[in-house]
Structure 1
Amino acid sequence: MRKKIDITGQRFGRLIAVQEVSSKGHHRCYLCTCDCGNTKIVPMDNLRNGKTKSCGCLNREMTSSKNTIDLTGKRFGRLTVLRRSGGHHKTQTKAIWTCQCDCGNVVDVLSTNLTRGETKSCSCWKKDNGYALFQYDRSHLLVDGVFFPLLKSRVRFDNPTGVKGITIDRASGKYRASITIRRKRIYLGRYAKLQDAVRARKIAEDIYHKPYLEG
């Protein structure tokens, strides 16, 4: 009869087999202690063939070592890296760095977000760009309170008539025409025929929109 193999007390990488425990399916398993202090139940075959060498700490250390590039002092957009943060990303495989923004705020940022250019500030960059865009719009695209690019916007995709400013009145089944200027909607009437509603809308555009588009 073939003698049963006993690996109790043997070392496999960072693991020492303490005692055999209940099998998983057809695989014999051992309770092992790791050099880091953790315990782990491992199939005996995985220990003997070198597939499992630790409780998992070895793999975490190897993965973490890929993220040990020192970014201290480097600059990414408005951010200057001060130090590596003590925090951990939920995957525990990505380094987090504490950065100071030019505006004075201090934030923690993932290394990948810095190196890929996805994060360039504490968020003040977006705020400043938004304000700059607002200033540009107010200086170049706003005339007498009218944002004239909206006057040239396309018809809404859900408009059943296919004509801007003309909808169908459900109660009467007629075509309702309107036009908006300075955030105020002006009602132009209901029409039995679409072409009549279109004509009314065109007249209103000449009166209310054309001066701004030609100005």
Structure 2
Amino acid sequence: MSRITEIARILGCTGSNVCYLLRNGSIKGPRTSAGWKVTDEAIQEYFKMPTPVYPRKLWLHKGQQFGYWTVLTAKTVRTRSGNRVALYQCICGRSRSCGCRRAENQNQLKGLDKGQIIMNQIHQKGLAPKYLNKQVNKNSKTGHTGVCWREKEHKYYAYIMVDRKQISLGLHAKLDDAIAARKAAEEQYFRLRQEKVDAIK
């Protein structure tokens, strides 16, 4: 048995994992023409590391959770194919593949399909998904959609886009007046459309 294989058995990983740890210096040991020279003290130092690195982070512990599964015992068993397996339990109480994850994925796909159908119906009516209370563009200097500062006039300009056409709502000396003009225009042009979209949703 080579030293690499022996270390791999101690750590519970593969020989390639051990070589990785040796190359990055996690396990101290010089490399010679005959192979790596690793002392037992070097392995003990690796176990004492405050922040274990790969592959120690892959070790199993009782109670450890991976998505739906909880580790029942840290002891692993080697199968005929040479792989190591451990005893897990699903959140539903079964110890074998119960289909919980598959069922959730199917529900997600159903939700996506339903959302796509709704979007298609909205677009067929010539509507947009949302008209009121839209998220403000992060580049907006006023913090309000449809309101900007006109440096030339030193006033706030309010506008609204309807069917890809910009409708001017005038220049305003005060920001509050420009915002009020914009909100009034939203009620005038968008309220009915938003109600149609809400009805489809």
TM tier, smaller? 0.3 to 0.5
Higher strand proportion: 1
Give the number of the structure with larger relative contact order, counting CA–CA contacts within 8 Å between residues 6 or more apart: 2
Please say which structure displays the higher CA radius of gyration. 1
Q: Tell me the TM-score normalised to structure 2 length.
A: 0.42
Higher helix proportion: 2
Q: Tell me the TM-score normalised to structure 1 length.
A: 0.40
